[in-house]
Amino acid sequence: SMASSIENLFIEEEYTYKAKLPFPQRPGGVLSEEKGGIRYQVNFKGSQALCDLSPFPGLTKTTLKEAKAVWDQLFTKHLKNVESYLFAEDYRSLSLLKEKTQSLAPIEFALFQLWCQLSPHAKKNKDREKAKSGLKKNDVLSFSSWINFDLKTDETLQEKITLKVKCSKEEVSAFIEDLKVKQKDFRGELENYQLRIDGNTGWQASDLNRFWKELEGLGLTHLVDYFEEPLQNYQEYKKLLQGENLKAIPIAHEEFLEDYIQ
């Protein structure tokens, strides 16, 4: 019934803010020195989450007023849809809400932020990571350290060794080449590792797609635990959704919310 939905899911707090940008930005020829929007605190089954509704001038034609009107509709008339999205296994099922969100990027990004914080599936993955990371060393390597990394074989290994490797957009091609070399020369050793590839919000959707396709070609997708915050901005995530391969490219979002909002 609608009533149970409203008890389970509601906006606890909303406030309008303006924040100075670290430097003036001019997407689409529109100069902005500050960013404005609305922060919402949403309560879902007793858990709280924050999200940010803030159309960026030049990136989108939508005004804050228009975005807020659609948002208000979602949280009055379409709560059931929002609730079922928050239960969705995959954040990409947002595309099923297209007519309700009117495909507005600021709305979809705000819902995506809520999914990352409130979805049982997102939480389960985080808890699994916590449980797993207790067992293993999770060294962070720069890409150049990874190239020279001495892969070890250890017959007594109970758990795979998890490594986090930072990889900029410029290093993507070299990473692929390096994996080809390691696969050829150290196939057995490579199998002992799980890689978390940190794109540091620098990649485009095309980089991620290319990396994943190459891994598939090499039969190495199982090496990747996840890509951490690989893409530059929400527009790139949207491109990923529109791409052909809605495959299970594993993506983790950790600290992104505060970074985007600050």
pLDDT in tens, 43-85: 998 899 999 999 887 777 889 999 999 999 999 999 999 999 9
pLDDT in tens, 215-234: 999 999 989 988 887 887 77
pLDDT in tens, 20-37: 777 777 777 777 788 889
pLDDT at 228 (0 to 100): 83
C-alpha Rg value of the chain to the nearest Å: 20
User: How far apart are the C-alpha atoms of 53 and 45, rounded to whole Å?
Assistant: 22
Structure token pair of residue 114: 């809520």
pLDDT at 124 (0 to 100): 73
The percentage of residues in the chain with a pLDDT greater than 70, rounded to a whole number, is 83
Residue 141 CA, chain-centre distance (Å), reads 21
- pLDDT at residue 179 is higher than 90: yes
- pLDDT at residue 136 is higher than 70: no
pLDDT in tens, 240-259: 766 655 556 787 765 444 44
Lowest mean pLDDT among 53-62, 81-90, 172-181, 200-209: 53-62
- pLDDT at residue 7 is higher than 50: yes
- pLDDT at residue 153 is higher than 90: no
pLDDT at 110 (0 to 100): 92
User: How far apart are the C-alpha atoms of 239 and 190, rounded to whole Å?
Assistant: 32
- pLDDT at residue 169 is higher than 60: yes
Cβ–Cβ under 8 Å, residues 86 and 119:
yes
One-character DSSP codes across 127-148: HHHHHHHTTS-EEEE-HHHHHT
CA within 13 Å, CB half, 108: 25
- pLDDT at residue 106 is higher than 60: yes
Strand pairing class (138-141; 47-53): unpaired
The percentage of residues in the chain with a pLDDT greater than 90, rounded to a whole number, is 30
- pLDDT at residue 155 is higher than 80: no
- Amino acid type, 181: V
Per-residue confidence band for 262, with pLDDT thresholds at 50, 70 and 90: very low
Residue 228 pairs in a beta bridge with: 198, 252
User: How far apart are the C-alpha atoms of 183 and 188, rounded to whole Å?
Assistant: 8
